[in-house]
Amino acid sequence: MHPTMDTSTQSLREHDTIRAVRWQGDRLCLLDQRLLPAEERWIECLNAEEVTQAIRDLAVRGAPAIGIAAAWGVVLAAQQGAPLDDVLATLRAARPTAVNLMWALDRMKGRIAAGAQAAALEREAQSIQDEDLAANRHMGELGAALIAPGSGVLTHCNTGSLATAGYGTALGVIRAGVADGRINEVFAGETRPWQQGARLTMYELVRDRIPAHLIADSAAAHLMRSGKVQWVIVGADRIAANGDTANKIGTYQLAIAARHHGVKFMVVAPSSTVDMATPDGEAIEIELRHADELLATGGRRTVVEGARAWNPVFDVTPAELIDAIVTERGVIERPDAMAMRAMFGQ
């Protein structure tokens, strides 16, 4: 991966919506999300291996954005005559939990099987990206319509432009809800250990001048008790056939606290996040990442030598704690296997 600072063409300031994943015809440019907000540095991926590395190292993150980046990785491999089966397998293994990655690669694989060459694959990847943006806009309207005017909302992790082709999933609903006066105030959890809420969501909210406060993840229940929020709105990395939802660690804890306080809980994700082949949450692999993500902060060890850590980065929220699943195909209230099957087939 090659750092670049070509801000003349790539500055975030030029665009209404941040585009963190940008195809340049023969390379993929990714806004390095590990450095935000301190630094807006772009990295250039010149081949599929570099895309794989960027996904694995969290330079690009967010389930939809990972899928889109992987599709562009396949295009690079096709342009360079690399063995596509190997590339598909390597990209697929880069992160285990988000199913959008597998979905995007399956879509590229289908085109390859049908004989598509590099140019056709490039069009397919562009479609994946364009459809994601359109889906986000549509989900924004659908989700916002569920929220009563004057509400406060709490979100977790980053589900905005940085995590998608643009606009966002849960953050898209928040953008739409703020725009039409339904949402007065937004709270964002820090989202330890990577601080996607603190670093990325607050970056997007401040940039959009949306009234927002950051909170410690563990302040959420106290916030709910205070009556300041009416909805928790989150994204998803995988939604099983019964509506059980894998998402960033901490989501499940928020869902339990929300139910305890009568606060509503909304999951917003494109239909590419739905995995009807996974019957329920028990069947979803939860990625464990390195203990150092908890034991060190900003490269500096903060915990005593010899200490161990347990670092699952996703958890599963059972469908019964979810009030609404919003995809671009529509809204499922009180999701269960029957309602999911009615909308997503299988």
Compute the least distance from the CB of residue 72 to a copy of itself, in Å: 27
Q: Which stretch binds a copy of itself (CB under 8 A): 4-12, 64-72, 79-87, 290-298?
A: 290-298
> Could you tell me which of 125, 140, 124 has the C-alpha nearest to residue 17?
140
* One of 213, 329, 336, 343 touching a copy of itself (CB under 8 A): 213
- Per the listing, tokens 């099957």 go with 341
Residue from 219, 331, 337, 339 in contact with a copy of itself (CB under 8 A) = 219
Residue among 332, 324, 327 at smallest CA distance from 136: 327
Choose which of 46, 116, 276, 303 interacts with a copy of itself (CB under 8 A): 303
Q: Does 37 bind a copy of itself (CB under 8 A)?
A: yes
Closest CA to 191 of 160, 167, 151, 164: 160
Residue 181's region, left for phi above 0, alpha for psi from -120 to 50, else beta, is left
Determine if 288 is a binding residue for a copy of itself (CB under 8 A).
no
From the CB of 139, what's the least distance to a copy of itself, in Å? 24
Please choose, out of 132-140, 220-228, 264-272, 338-346, the segment that lies near a copy of itself by the rule CB under 8 A.
220-228
Beta strand 2-4 pairing with 314-317: unpaired
Tell me which of 140, 160, 193, 335 binds a copy of itself, using CB under 8 A. Answer: 193
Q: How many residues bind a copy of itself (CB under 8 A)?
A: 58
Those residues whose C-beta lies under 8 Å from the C-beta of residue 208, and which sit 6 or more positions away, are 175, 178
Smallest gap from Cβ 246 to a copy of itself, in A, equals 11
Indicate which residue of 132, 208, 237, 244 is catalytic. 237
Max distance between CA atoms of the chain, in angstroms, equals 59
**237 part of the active site:** yes
Q: Give CA separation, 100 vs 6, 27, 166, in Å.
A: 30, 21, 15
Q: Which two tokens stand for residue 3?
A: 């750092």
For a copy of itself, the binding residue among 32, 190, 237, 244 (CB under 8 A) is 190
Neighbour tally for 256: CB within 10 Å: 15
Applying CB under 8 A, which of residues 82, 84, 294, 337 lies at the interface with a copy of itself? 294
3-state secondary structure of 63: helix
Task: Quickly list DSSP for 173-239.
Answer: HHHHHHHTTSEEEEEEE--TTTTIIIIIIHHHHHHTT--EEEE-GGGHHHHHHTT--SEEEE--SEE
Establish if 32 lies at the interface with a copy of itself (CB under 8 A). no
Take residue 40 and report the two structure tokens written for it. 């807006």
Near a copy of itself in 239-278, by CB under 8 A: 249-250, 252-254, 256-257, 260
> 67 or 168, CB closer to a copy of itself?
168
Question: What residue ranges bind a copy of itself (CB under 8 A)?
Answer: 37-38, 187, 189-193, 195, 198-199, 202-203, 205-207, 212-223, 225, 249-250, 252-254, 256-257, 260, 286, 291, 294-295, 297-298, 300-312, 315-316
| Residues designated as active site | 237
